[in-house]
């Protein structure tokens, strides 16, 4: 298992956790996930939590994720977005501001749109807080 983050502090924190818990099968690497990430072999599954929307280019992040996966490999994403529909959309200016400062969200990020370009069977399987928090799953085409 390989964990990827660009921030040296986040990488150090993750390595500390791996060591504390004694996870012998986990490596943590510092890398820009919008550029090709070298993995020893193609990956069966990938999970991105609050990550793609924090990157400057969600399309690149999605494409590099797809590159790393084997054909048919699965991806699970937990991320945030403005209120997608319904009356609570009126709150979106504040929601956007909150995500920008609390989760470092790139205001232009369209995570689901980016994933739809590279993956198949994209489904939002869970939402919370009027749809602003979502879990999506998809597969790399076989």
Ligand X SMILES: C[S@@+](CC[C@H](N)C(=O)[O-])C[C@H]1O[C@@H](n2cnc3c(N)ncnc32)[C@H](O)[C@@H]1O
Of 28, 46, 55, 115, the one binding ligand X by CB under 6 A: 55
What is the rounded CA–CA span in Å between residue 118 and residue 140? 7
What 3-state class would DSSP assign to 58?
helix
**Binding flags for ligand X, 14-33, as an x/- string (CB under 6 A):** ------------------xx
Q: Smallest Cα–Cα separation from 112: which of 86, 77, 64, 69?
A: 77
User: Please, are residues 42 and 15 in contact by the beta-carbon 8 Å criterion?
Assistant: no
Shortest approach of ligand X to residue 92 CB, angstroms?
19
Structure tokens at 24: 């012998």
Asked if 54 is part of the footprint of ligand X (rule: CB under 6 A), the reply reads yes
Q: Does 103 bind ligand X (CB under 6 A)?
A: yes
Among 1, 7, 17, 121, binds ligand X (CB under 6 A): 7
Give min distance, CB of 64 to ligand X, in A.
9
Beta strands in the chain (DSSP E): 2-5, 27-30, 43-49, 69-80, 120-128, 133-139
**34 near ligand X, rule: CB under 6 A:** yes
Binding site for ligand X (CB under 6 A): 4-7, 10, 32-34, 49-51, 54-55, 103-104
């Amino acid at each position: 298992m390989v964990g990827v983050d660009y921030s040296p502090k986040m990488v150090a924190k993750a390595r500390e956790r791996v060591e504390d818990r004694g996870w012998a099968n986990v490596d943590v690497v510092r890398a820009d996930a919008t550029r090709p990430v070298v993995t020893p072999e193609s990956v069966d599954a990938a999970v991105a939590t609050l990550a793609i929307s924090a990157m400057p280019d969600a399309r690149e992040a999605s494409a590099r994720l797809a590159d790393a996966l084997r054909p048919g490999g699965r991806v699970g994403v937990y991320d945030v977005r403005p209120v997608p529909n319904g009356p609570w959309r009126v709150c979106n200016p504040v929601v956007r501001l909150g995500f920008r400062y609390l989760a470092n969200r790139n205001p232009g990020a369209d995570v689901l749109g980016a994933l739809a370009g590279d993956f198949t069977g994209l489904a939002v399987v869970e939402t919370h807080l009027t749809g602003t928090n979502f879990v999506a799953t998809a597969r790399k085409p076989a």
